[in-house]
Amino acid sequence: MDTYFLRKLFITLVLTMALIGCASNKTLFNDDIIGLKAENTPEGIALAFDHIPSETTRMFIHLTEVVEDANVIPVFTDIRGTLLDQVKEKGKVVCPFVKNGHHYFIAVSFETGKNEKWVDAEITADNGIYTLNEIDLELNNAQTGVTLSAEPVFSTGVQFDSPKFNYAVTIKADVDRTFGYGEQVENNLAWEFLPKMVEDFKRDNIQVNGNLPAYVTAYCNINYDDLLWTVGIANSKEFTVSL
């Protein structure tokens, strides 16, 4: 299991709690007036930043469609190193994986080694890249694994990364706590998450117990404009997982 990917998943899956909770109370940079503007372009949604603090070592961009009474399917990218240097110079990132007429909530974190700051925006997309086919993520009868009903077909050609797929379980521990578990899978439409998930939770001393609601999300890894995007394509139905 890729622990770097797991870190991204944990950040993604607890994003809403972080935004509503303590993130807005942090003063973290010498000059933290970042300024975020989201606007439509022919390629998708462009994010323009007035200022990216020079001490930033990581940017994490997260998009979700604004829907009611449904589990969200995220899209995100994790920017570091020389790619982050390029973004600091340009002051702009294009988020292409959106669909015309759909409304999106966008959150961006800026991190140093110890600190972080979140900014956010909302916008309805005019253009973008999206899946053309209906895709189901089906649980097996034992509820220990999932299978995608089909390969995703996008509205324009895309460059898949390797491994091609990620899968993640979201476990709703209570109103304020969500746990995530994920794995990267090479060109595989099926993923078995049990019993390995429970074994890894025990190994890492993650304290979550009981019969809890959960669901699985399938993602594709896609390269666009030098950035690696993790693009959610389907959720399973909710089920109960025993931990």
The residue ranking higher by pLDDT, 163 or 12, is 163
User: The whole model's pTM is what?
Assistant: 0.87
Helix or strand holding residue 4 (H, E): helix 3-13
- Classify 3-124 by CATH class: mainly beta
DSSP 57: -
What class does CATH assign to 137-242? mainly beta
Instruction: State how far the alpha carbon of 127 is from the alpha carbons of 45, 155, 156, 216, in Å.
Output: 8, 11, 12, 27
Report the distance separating Cα 182 and Cα 238, nearest Å.
16
Give yes or no on whether 3-124 and 137-242 have one common fold. yes
- Domain ranges across the chain: 3-124, 137-242
N-terminal to C-terminal alpha carbon distance within the chain: 19
What are the pLDDT digits (tens) for 28-60? 444 456 889 999 999 999 999 998 989 999 999
| Model pLDDT, residue 67 | 86
* pLDDT surpasses 80 at 22: no
Q: What pLDDT score does 202 carry?
A: 87
